[in-house]
Structure 1
């Protein structure tokens, strides 16, 4: 969240991370070492050395420190992860240790999307501003075919669209991103078409 404090001095930021993966690995826990699995660790400023499974190089550690200083860190208690179902052990441990709220597709099936949408807003009601990140792999693979990291038993199109529309209506929403559309594994841009239709409904 580089520049957030400069743009919104004194404001408290909450994050809704809609994703099949928590993306809270670090160079000390990531099995692959890929940065795309680390953004939540960066913005919350954690190393998770207590769950270390990997010894990164000195160069990796130097870059990691620079990444964590790109912006001011967000409190882990102000993060809600939605749709998560593919979690590494070290990620699961740090999520429990930090008390990060996770809403799985099973939670949504059990209690309904409206109930869980209200859970999200209640959890982040102390935040001045909300940022939403929507990864298309949060959707079930039967829908989200144009992404590189699908995971079974994801959100339905109706659940995801309802949630995005609900979050879009928040008066303190400051940003929304849609990620992980990969045309190289898609067919006739079907994933992009699905997202465009979701956005049309969300904005209607």
Structure 2
């Protein structure tokens, strides 16, 4: 296993969704011992702390299709700049959310370094809504759409280029709650999706083998993992804002992380949507740290 220099970036924001508490996710993951776990495996860890997240400004006019837009733009821009710097320094960016809108900033920071970045998106949701299709106005349901260049231009053009990733380079794994507009975009853009139906039928081993072979076939020059803890069944991760029953098991998720590690393809990662207020004794953060251990080469023997 190649030892890495890992730069941890916390993004304590809940502006992308409606339930308070997910802004404490980075602290919960740190409290669960992530730095010590990574160092025990043999990696060098540099915790860069949290990016600054400003307090919400009270405005007279609110766009109900893009809630907290200005705040999300501010957070995404700061994160994009930080991720860009980390990659330029040849370090591995490991980002902790916060809600999943932070992926907008992560991709904006990565995109200039890779011509053909691959993406594995572990999530119960597709996060491919736009201002025209969103049922809630919550921007944490839009980051993949924004990153392929579809959505509000102020989000799409963070760091002044678009798209950040190619639609064909995305593999969504674990989806089980997909909105009608997202379904249309998946078919229109040719995005590869392995729902829980495929995981149940094929097993996680086949799904991961197929996903990695697909991305290798596209000759991706980097691979980003974006893992929403609601991708797992709420039995294992109760502390998330949008739980959906029938998700991946604890062991299926570990197997997926282990196979990603074995592929040698991974170049960046983010773990999002840990909400300590909704959690049980920091259980969800503990699961996140255990998965991070498997992703970075932790073994039993």
TM-score class, shorter: 0.7 to 0.9
Contact conserved, 2:111 with 2:117, CA < 8 A, in 1? no
Partner of 1:18: 122
Contact conserved, 1:20 with 1:85, CA < 8 A, in 2? yes
CA distance in 1, matches of 2:112, 2:187: 31
Aligned residue for 2:248, secondary structure, equals coil
Q: Paired residue for 2:213, among 112, 122, 127?
A: 122
CA distance in 2, matches of 1:106, 1:164: 20
Aligned residue for 2:263, secondary structure, equals coil
Residues 1:181 and 2:274 aligned together: yes
Contact conserved, 2:261 with 2:294, CA < 8 A, in 1? no
Q: Paired residue for 1:35, among 125, 139, 158?
A: 139
Q: With structure 1 as the length reference, what TM-score do the two structures score?
A: 0.86
Structure 1 residue 5: deviation in Å? 4.4
CA distance in 2, matches of 1:107, 1:15: 18
CA distance in 1, matches of 2:122, 2:109: 23
- 5 Å-filtered alignment, 1:24-103, equals 24-47=128-151, 64-70=152-158, 71-73=161-163, 74-103=165-194
Q: Return 65-74 or 134-143, whichever deviates more.
A: 65-74
- 5 Å-filtered alignment, 1:190-201, equals 190-201=283-294
CA distance in 2, matches of 1:26, 1:113: 30
Partner of 1:106: 197
**What's the C-alpha RMSD, in Å, of the aligned pairs?**
1.4
Aligned residue for 1:27, secondary structure, equals coil
Aligned residue for 2:230, secondary structure, equals helix
Residues 201 and 171 of structure 1: CA distance in aligned 2, closer, same or farther (over 3 Å): closer
Partner of 2:230: 137
Runs of at least 5 residues in structure 1 that lack an aligned partner in the other structure = 48-63
CA distance in 2, matches of 1:138, 1:128: 26
Aligned length: 186
Structure 1 residue 170: deviation in Å? 2.9
CA distance in 2, matches of 1:156, 1:37: 23
Contact conserved, 1:4 with 1:72, CA < 8 A, in 2? no
CA distance in 2, matches of 1:102, 1:79: 8
CA distance in 1, matches of 2:112, 2:253: 32
